[in-house]
Structure 1
């Protein structure tokens, strides 16, 4: 259970935060980001999971899903076709990204813009093979880019490589390829790569660097038959430091740049749509009074190239700031 209260400075008399933020997406309201209840089973040869959830994260991030599916966090069944391999089919967490939907598992309270605008969940088939304890390979066939139902007749393909050369270092490379437009729309191929590395420098200090880049076929001017792509790329740096046994602080710097706002504001931007460029940072403090309870507070500032944020009286601004607090409990 992740309960929270957030406040946006100079808010536009609404409880909704900017539309490209999906986790902890409400402000000036005591509410629940995610309440999750689930079961997992694994006997070494067969495994499965089923989980349901609700909250403001679900309301914002699953808005396009059918009502019968939007409260489904995960639901998959799998078995070992080989001694060191798993084959899972169903709905499961995304293979993309350094951050997940589970708040307590992330270094920062709020999610980076890159995490908010890449998949949190996927549906399809996942084949995982452990070459050795340090190297794991995964191949996936998916219904698409964060959707449980299929919206066209084309499946997406994806991969993941996780290498852990030492106990302190993890290197991840994830890819995605697919057409993410409805059947009655023009086909637009999407290519995407997610890379991150995390390093525990000491018992107290941990560092992480994340970089994503994607390209999607774009609308072209009349008479232009050449290949044209909208490109987006985004990066973030994380520093986490353990101040004491129960206290931890985390600093994040990030940017997000998207040609014609592809992905961040529109899946299919048109000719003439302006580019998007947002950058910012956050600083958070965590207190863990026990092993299964985490209290967090975080301040965040974003700055955009254009005036994309709505402030009081409907006035647009190029800056945005908020503070968010949360209590998360798990068992």
Structure 2
């Protein structure tokens, strides 16, 4: 009887050991259909801001942040891992864009992380990703070379470039994609309060020429211990390829929140239109006009009577001397209701920027 018990126990032990080894080895093995890729980019620039900002740091922007200085706007290197069931991304970054946009992050090492996320496939067309993610909001993205114009619109500079949390992506069809998010907050890695924020996005591509997108955000933006300041934000954009040479895009933002230091609610809004024309295989022109209105100073603090009510127009020239290499020139003008541009010459409601850049992506 004892012998049978010992034999049974031994067989169970061996079975569990073999199973554990199989599980452990399957975890450690690289799947046959896995794919690892390395990519990166470098964007260097020289910009001249005619307001001659103090300490060479340009106001109301993160891109072309330094005045009268050759510098690195954004450099990053990104590693991706993907199979048909899991995926992961790790991207490290540096540059003046990082210095400006991540200034609120308390840890300097945290600012080096452009992306750090992992995801698992839950079903056909359904993925769950967690970590530091690109923002689901807005038409323009972080890397200058991926946009029609070198600098970002004011609406892009004052909405998230990145988010931290969990994102459920559902590809409803070949034309329709939806995103549901739970986030730490409005563009932050380190949490600032006990509340979590919610995000939603839907993108519709009815054909190869048109893209329509709606994106929203809701969250409490007050720091720990403060009275709740609930932010409601909506973004809509559309793009359309008129022809092989001409493309158009437009975007509108609207946000609402309890005012800082008050229980009353205030709002802000922004709108822009972009057009791009491909003159030849190597040369293109683009233009953008926009207006940003934050009279309640919810997003942009100016300490002026009318807040930040600013229009801007840009003209951009692109030249592609070689694959993945881009030379850009941009002239940009600003006109604000109040004297919000501060520099060596004092205060002014108008400003201008000239910037040129070289960027390479691999």
Query: What TM-score results when the alignment is normalised by the length of structure 1?
Result: 0.94
Match of 2:353 in 1: 322
Match of 2:329 in 1: 297
1:258-277 counterparts in 2 under 5 A?
A: 258-265=294-301, 274-277=306-309
Aligned pair in 2 of structure 1 residues 219, 149: CA closer, same or farther (>3 Å)? closer
CA positional deviation for 1:274: 3.9
Tell whether the 8 Å contact from 1:260 to 1:273 is kept in structure 2 after alignment: no
The structure 1 residue matched to 2:162, chosen from 91, 109, 121, is 121
User: Does the alignment pair 1:286 with 2:318?
Assistant: yes
Tell me the secondary structure at the aligned position of residue 265 of structure 1. Answer: coil
Match of 1:37 in 2: 77
CA distance in 1, matches of 2:227, 2:96: 33
CA distance in 1, matches of 2:239, 2:170: 22
Number of aligned positions between the proteins: 320
More helix by share: 2
CA distance in 2, matches of 1:296, 1:115: 19
User: Does the alignment pair 1:70 with 2:104?
Assistant: no
Match of 2:66 in 1: 26
Which sections of structure 2, spanning at least 5 residues, go unmatched?
1-41
CA distance in 2, matches of 1:234, 1:15: 27
CA distance in 2, matches of 1:50, 1:13: 35
Output one character per residue of 1:231-256: Cα deviation in whole Å (capped at 9) or x when no partner: 00000000000011100111000000
User: Does the alignment pair 1:47 with 2:87?
Assistant: yes
Output one character per residue of 1:184-215: Cα deviation in whole Å (capped at 9) or x when no partner: 21210000001000000000000001000000
Tell me the secondary structure at the aligned position of residue 296 of structure 2. Answer: helix
1:197-212 counterparts in 2 under 5 A?
A: 197-212=238-253
CA distance in 2, matches of 1:80, 1:241: 39
Output one character per residue of 1:88-146: Cα deviation in whole Å (capped at 9) or x when no partner: 00001000011111111011100000000000000000000001010001000000000
- Where do 4+ consecutive residues of structure 1 move more than 4 Å? none
CA distance in 1, matches of 2:293, 2:117: 35
Aligned pair in 2 of structure 1 residues 47, 310: CA closer, same or farther (>3 Å)? same
Match of 1:162 in 2: 203
CA distance in 2, matches of 1:13, 1:215: 32
CA distance in 2, matches of 1:43, 1:150: 31
Match of 1:224 in 2: none
Match of 1:308 in 2: 340
CA distance in 2, matches of 1:34, 1:219: 32
1:119-268 counterparts in 2 under 5 A?
A: 119-219=160-260, 228-265=264-301
Output one character per residue of 1:263-298: Cα deviation in whole Å (capped at 9) or x when no partner: 0227xx9xx964320001000000011221000000
Which sections of structure 1, spanning at least 5 residues, go unmatched?
222-226
Tell whether the 8 Å contact from 1:191 to 1:215 is kept in structure 2 after alignment: yes
